[in-house]
Homo-oligomer: A and B are copies of this chain.
Amino acid sequence: MNDCSFIPTGPMPATTAARRTPRSQHTGDKRDLILKAATKLFARRGFFNAQVADVAREAGVAAGTVYLYFQSKDDLLISIFERTMHEGLEAARQALAGVSDPVERLRRLALVHLERLGQDRDLAVVFQVELRQSTKFMERFSSTLLQDYLHAIRDAVADAQTAGRFRREVSPTFAAKVLYGALDEMATNWILSRRRYALAAQANEVVDLFVNGMTT
């Protein structure tokens, strides 16, 4: 068994904390407001088709105000990514706290992942679609959140193998990609589907199939 490396056990990351501390509550609200508006518009119109002025209008601020909180339009997308990532990591940390059984860890990870995306469709669209639109963002995406996520899965798989519960001939890294890919596909399908079913409910099904496939 190992400690899940992708979970910061200390306090919240500096960036997020640093940004909030020096600003008033009012200011923090405005930043959030803009980020929420950007998420909504990027999701519904696409990053390139959404205009900064639209984001500002949606947030109820002037166009120039956006640039008091963000450096550029790109920075909006990156900030959505980073903020969501930090929150996601925190949620995962809490979900895994005290859980040592590797299969249960996989179950929790999958559930938290789909739950979070399933709670905010706009956010899910930005993550599943917009953030992947150019290699620039894609690489940023894949080199951070994805890595942490895959490592967490991989470690749980390796633990299960060590415990003799999973077949050893499958590479844990490969298995992690398979599981992540399946979950990711569930999310993308959910976004594109017109039916409004509960995304999180599929977490267990996916893990069941995966665990069955990995079991000796």
Interface residues of A in 153-178 (CB under 8 A from B): 170, 174-175, 177-178
| CB-based contact A177/B189 at 8 Å | yes
| CB-based contact B136/A46 at 8 Å | yes
User: Could you tell me the distance between the alpha carbons of A185 and B135 in the complex, rounded to whole angstroms?
Assistant: 15
| CB-based contact A133/B132 at 8 Å | yes
A125 at the A/B interface (Cβ < 8 Å)? yes
Q: How far is the CB of A68 from chain B (nearest CB, A)?
A: 12
Q: Which residues of B contact A209 (CB under 8 A)?
A: 170, 175, 178, 213-214
Q: How many copies does the complex hold?
A: 4
Q: Which residues of B contact A132 (CB under 8 A)?
A: 129, 132-133, 188
Closest chain B residue, CB of each to CB of A47: B133
Please classify the interface of chain A as helix (H, G, I), strand (E, B), loop, or mixed, using the class held by over half of its residues: helix
| CB-based contact A205/B174 at 8 Å | yes
| CB-based contact B189/A185 at 8 Å | no
Q: Which residues of B contact A182 (CB under 8 A)?
A: 177-178, 181-182, 185
Q: Which residues of B contact A49 (CB under 8 A)?
A: 134
| CB-based contact A192/B129 at 8 Å | no
Interface residues in chain A, defined as those with a beta carbon under 8 Å from any beta carbon in chain B: 44-49, 125, 129-130, 132-136, 138-139, 142, 170, 174-175, 177-178, 180-186, 188-189, 192, 202, 205-206, 209-210, 212-214
Contacts A/B (CB < 8 Å), 19 sampled: A46-B135, A47-B133, A49-B134, A132-B133, A132-B188, A133-B133, A133-B134, A138-B192, A142-B192, A170-B209, A174-B205, A178-B206, A178-B209, A181-B181, A181-B183, A181-B189, A210-B213, A212-B212, A213-B214
15 further A-B contacts with Cβ under 8 Å, apart from A177-B185, A181-B189, A185-B185, are A45-B134, A46-B135, A46-B136, A47-B133, A48-B133, A125-B135, A129-B135, A130-B133, A132-B132, A133-B133, A177-B182, A180-B185, A184-B185, A212-B212, A213-B213
